[in-house]
Structure 1
C-alpha cells in the first residue's frame, strides 16, 4: 500500500485517468469518442420522441451539450444533498417559496424532464447483437478486463452470486465468494430447509471446484455462502463454541467495503423514482462517483471537508457554467430570472 507521504503528485491524476478509461464502454478506449457517442444517442432518442413538437424542440436545443450533461448531474447531486431525491420535480421547481431556487436558475423543469427521459448510453444500431450476450455485458467486460488473469478474489452479496458466473470467473483466474439466495433452484433442499437444524450447525457441499456452506447462526436464520477460493469447509477456531465456518468468517471480513459504500451513498442518494433503466444506472454511477471523487480530493491532502459539504461544492461546480451562460442571455428569459441569475 502506498502511504500519503510516499505518493507522488501525479498519482491522483493518473488514477482519475485510469478510472475514466475503465468506465468507457468501447474498444477504442478513447474518452472523447465515447462521450460523443453518449451525446449522439441521447439526441437521437430526443428527436425520436419529440419530433414535430416545436415547443419541446426549443427546450431541448443542444440537448447533448457538455453543459446539459454537467447540469443534469449537478441537479441530481443537489437534490441528494437536500434529501429531496424522491421529491416530485414540480415541488423542487416550485414558485411558491417552497422550491429550491437554484433548480429554476439552472434550467426549466421541462428541459430537465427531457434530459432524464432521453438519457442513453448505447447505440441502438449495435443493440441487438449486444443484447444476445447480456444487457450490461460490454460494460462488465470492459471494467473487469484489467483483473483477468491476475488472480484476485471478488466478494459480492447475493444480488450477484450465480454458479454460472463463478465458473466463468474461474476461467479468467478470478475467485469468487458470495452469499446465495435461498430461492435459487440449484440449491439442494437440505441446504435451504432449516427445520430441525440446531443453532450453530453447518452443512457443506462440493461441486466442480465450488464450496457451498450453510450455517445457522441463530434459530430460523440460514446463511448460505458459495466460494471458488476455498477448497475445504474448516471451522474457524476464533468463533469458539459458535462453530462458524472459516468461509463465512472470510466473507464477513471482506464484505465491509460493500457495506461502507452503501452506507456512504445512502444519506445523499441521488436515485429518483423512475422506470428508465439507463437513469437507474446513471444515478448509481453518480452515487459511487461522489464517493470516489471525495477520496481523490482528500488523497491530495487538500482542505478537510465532510461529505455533505463536498457534494454541495461538487454540485455547484457542475452547475456554475450553465448558470453563467444563462445570466448572459439577453433574450428568452424573464427579467426577474436575469436579476436572480446575476445575483447568484
Structure 2
C-alpha cells in the first residue's frame, strides 16, 4: 500500500466519522459503503467557479496540485462540478457526500435487492449501491449523456468489477428491461413523479428522489404497497441539477409585452405580498396550488427617475397574466401592476389564505398519493394534483 492509498483511506475515515457524528450516516451498511469506495477514482478532475463571474471556471486535477492536496479536496463534504455544458454551466457533478448518505439511508438498501439509479453522473453513487446490495449485477444505472455513461462504466469496472449495468438512455422512462426494482433512486431533480418509475417499482419497494417544482424542493420517499402508492417528505430539501429528458419541457414565459396592462394600485404596508414569496414553506405550497405560476425577482432601472427599483413578478403562462410588484428605494409601499384579464392577483390572495388555513405547514407535513395514475399532494383534506 503506497502513501497516497493510505492517505485516501485516512481521509475517507475522517469524512465518514464526521458524517456519523452529525447523524447523517446512521447505519453500519452505509458507513461501510463510504469507507469502501474511493471517491477519487470517480472524480479525476473538477471545476471551481472563479470569483466575480458565473461563466469563468478553473479545472483542477491531480497534476495541477499535489496529490495530497487533491485528495483533501475530494474528501471534503462538498459537491464537485465535473462537467460543464456548451454554455459553461454545470451539467454533471459528484454530489455532497452528506446528501448522498441521506438519500442512501432513506433508500434502506438490503443485500440482494435490485436497484435502479436514474442519473449515473460519475458512477460513484452506483458503486456505493453495489456495496449496499452486495451484488453488482443487481444494480442498473441510467444517464442521458453517453460521455458520462462511457466513463462511469469504465471506472466502475476498475473499482467494483463486472456486473453493474450502465445504460445510456432517458432516465425519465426508467429501464423497463430489467424491472421490477426493489429500490429506485433519482439523483437529479424532477418536477413530477414519472409513472414509468412507479410502474417499475416492485410491491414493497421504495423510490427516493428530489421532487423539484419551479420554486422549492422536497426530499420525497415513496413506497409501493398492495394497497397503493404513498409518499412522505423528509424535513431537509434536496438540491440537484435538473434531469435532462425529452419528456420534460420548460413553458415559454409570458411577457408584459404580450398582454395588456389592466390595472395598478398601492399595497398597504402590512400586506403579506410580496414578502411572503420569499417564505420557503409558502413557495413549496404555492407552486402546487398555482402550478402554472413562476416568480422572478430582479433589480431594474426606472427610466423616468433613473433609480434602481425592486421588481418581483408572478406570471402564469396558462392564464396569460402577470402580477408585478414594484418598489423604489424612497417608497414605503409596494405598487402593483396587473397585466392580462385573468384575476391572478385574487388567486394569489386565495393561495395565501389557504396556506394560513393549513397552519403554514412545511413540506414534511404533506403526503403524496398515487391512485389510478392520478398524482396528488395531500394535507388536511386538501388535494393538490400535479
The TM-score range, normalised by the shorter chain, is under 0.3
Which protein has the bigger strand share?
A: 2
- The TM-score, its normalising length taken from structure 1, stands at 0.25
- The TM-score, its normalising length taken from structure 2, stands at 0.23
Larger RCO, structures 1/2 (Cα 8 Å, 6+ apart): 1
